[in-house]
Amino acid sequence: MGLVCGHLAFFAHSPGDIYIIAEVRRHVMLNLIMRQALDFEKPLVELESKLASLKENGAPEDEIKAVEQQLIEMRRTIFSRLTPWQRVLLARHPLRPYALDYLRMAFSSFSELHGDRLYGDDKAVIGGFAVLGEYRVMVIGTQKGRDAKENVARNFGCAHPEGYRKALRLMRLADKFFLPIITLIDTAGAYPGVGAEERHIAEAIAVNLREMVTLRVPTIAVIIGEGGSGGALGLGVTDRILIMENAYYSVISPEGCAAILWEDRAAAPLAAEVLKLTPQDLLRFRIVDEIIPEPMGGAHVDPHGAATLLKQALLRNLEELLKIPTEERLQQRYNKYRRIGQFLEKKPPSELQQPIQLSDNLGTNNEERSS
């Protein structure tokens, strides 16, 4: 779809051509969304189809405006009441922008680098030099495929050890030339196959965790879709963690959690709720630092709008980090991850009212030992 629209834009010569191209792009996008709509999106798709039909048939302006208003209100109602499981489904939407899409729309002058210099090149991890606004940066991301062939080539966005070692090589290169590092995370998890275990996937992720803490350049991670387990964490130990409004970040997938706790993958919606994996929960627990809003209806409805919001958030956070002295920023990064997981559990009132007599207990224990 992106290639079709891009080629059409190349042949535009007048404002009229641009209008026609915009209409073609809208129709192509609508057809794609209709074919791949989620269950809770279907009422919206049906109304959008009705609206398109009214416009094509030259319906009265009042009727068109009434349907447009109905569509706005329905979209606002549906997306203001999303369940955790529905957000997971949105994060996995096949039309959702991937890392390379954001690199094309939010960055410029991307030059991809390949290989880990140890084993090979993992296409599930992409990375290279790019420009964000006026800043030269190193961008690293996990990349899924759009069709079966590309998904096989990119291993469905699940990286092998060489993918994490490639990412670390690029991070060290950026650190050497003082280029800020931005990671775009969208993976269900690291690849759990035999080959990955033989090449030490756990060690590769562990080394990334250790080394990312010590990088002296500003670092930002963005969860743009799925943030699954150690596969996401291997690119996510950064100064700032941002998350798109309809993404998730979790120690395990809802299906995996349901299979373990309830022995039934059908309990995934319940697992999604108890895992507290939504952006709102993560912000409340101070796991992430900021939620990046998406266009109403999700990033897949308006990829360019989502890319603009992502770029704005990245520039704002990058400029803030660049103002912080290096040693202070490193200390803040260390404190950030030391704090995660700490909580205070209040004791029940009944326990608080009972005094603990340590001296008596110690005395009794001493007497028992002497006897």
- The tens digit of pLDDT for each residue in 253-296 reads 999 999 999 988 899 999 999 999 999 999 999 999 999 999 98
Are 184 and 202 in contact by the 8 Å Cβ rule? The answer is: no
Token pair, residue 212, equals 């990312």
* pLDDT mean across residues, the chain: 84
Ranges 44-53, 64-73, 318-327, 343-352: which has the least confidence:
343-352
Which pLDDT does position 7 carry in this prediction?
Answer: 42
- Where are the alpha helices (H) located in the chain, listed in sequence order? 2-10, 15-35, 42-56, 61-79, 84-91, 99-106, 148-153, 161-176, 194-198, 201-214, 229-233, 254-261, 268-274, 279-284, 303-322, 326-339, 349-353, 358-370
List, for residues 25-79, the tens digit of each pLDDT value. 555 555 555 556 777 777 777 777 777 777 777 777 787 788 778 778 888 888 8
Q: Is the pLDDT of residue 192 over 50?
A: yes
Are 102 and 300 in contact by the 8 Å Cβ rule? The answer is: no
pTM, two decimal places: 0.80
Which pLDDT does position 9 carry in this prediction?
Answer: 42
Which residues, 6+ apart, have CB-to-CB distance to 107 below 8 Å?
130, 131, 132, 137, 139, 311
Shared domain for 55 and 169, answered yes or no, is: no
- Asked if residue 104 is part of any domain, the answer here is yes
- Asked if residue 371 is part of any domain, the answer here is no
- Asked if residue 68 is part of any domain, the answer here is yes
How confident is residue 116, by pLDDT bands cut at 50, 70 and 90?
Answer: very high
Q: Is the pLDDT of residue 6 over 60?
A: no
- Asked if residue 346 is part of any domain, the answer here is no
Shared domain for 172 and 26, answered yes or no, is: no
- Where b means 16+ CB within 10 Å and e means fewer, 224-261 reads bbbbbbbbbbbbbbbbbbbbbbbbbbbebbbbbbbbee
List, for residues 101-110, the tens digit of each pLDDT value. 999 999 999 9
The percent of residues above 90 in pLDDT, for the chain, comes to 64
Token pair, residue 307, equals 């890319």
CA distances from 54 to 22, 45, 81, 199, 264 (A): 18, 14, 29, 58, 45
Q: Is the pLDDT of residue 364 over 50?
A: no
Q: Which one is predicted more confidently, 72 or 368?
A: 72
Which pLDDT does position 8 carry in this prediction?
Answer: 42
The number of domains in the chain is: 2
Rounded distance between C-alpha atoms, residue 122 and residue 195, angstroms: 13
CATH of the domain at 94: 3.90.226.10
Rounded distance between C-alpha atoms, residue 55 and residue 51, angstroms: 6
Residues paired with residue 290 on neighbouring β-strands, in sequence order: 242
Which residues, 6+ apart, have CB-to-CB distance to 16 below 8 Å?
none
Residues paired with residue 133 on neighbouring β-strands, in sequence order: none
Which pLDDT does position 348 carry in this prediction?
Answer: 64
Shared domain for 57 and 121, answered yes or no, is: no
List, for residues 193-210, the tens digit of each pLDDT value. 999 999 999 999 999 999
Q: Which domain holds residue 48?
A: 2-82
Shared domain for 128 and 246, answered yes or no, is: yes
Q: In degrees, to the nearest 5, what angle opens at C-alpha 37 toward C-alphas 91 and 45?
A: 125
Are 169 and 181 in contact by the 8 Å Cβ rule? The answer is: no
The percent of residues above 70 in pLDDT, for the chain, comes to 83
